[in-house]
Structure 1
Amino acid sequence: MRLNVRVRRGKCPIEEKEGLIIVCSNEKRENNKANLDVARQIARFYSVPPANVKIIAGHSSTRKIVEIEKD
Structure 2
Amino acid sequence: MMIEVKVNFGKSPPVATDDGLIIYTTAKRENNRANLDIIGQIADYYSIDTSRIRLVRGRTSRKKTFSVEIEE
User: How far 1:17 moved relative to its partner?
Assistant: 1.4
Supply the AA of the counterpart residue of 1:44.
Answer: D
Question: 1:26 aligns to what?
Answer: 26
| Structure 2 residue runs without a partner (length 5+) | none
Check if 1:12 corresponds to 2:8. Answer: no
After superposing the two structures, state which structure 1 stretch, 14-23 or 55-64, moved more.
14-23
Structure 1 position 35, deviation (Å): 0.1
**TM-score, scaled to structure 1:** 0.95
Structure 1 residue 70 displacement after superposition: 2.1
Q: Which amino acid aligns with 1:56?
A: V
Q: Once superposed, what is the RMSD of the aligned Cα atoms? A: 0.8
- Counterparts of residues 1-71 of structure 1 (less than 5 Å): 1-71=1-71
Between Structure 1 and Structure 2, how many residues are aligned?
A: 71
Displacement over 2 Å in runs of 4+: none
Aligned residues: percent identity?
A: 35
Provide structure 1 residue ranges, at least 5 long, that are not aligned to the other structure.
none
Calculate the TM-score normalised by the size of structure 2: 0.94
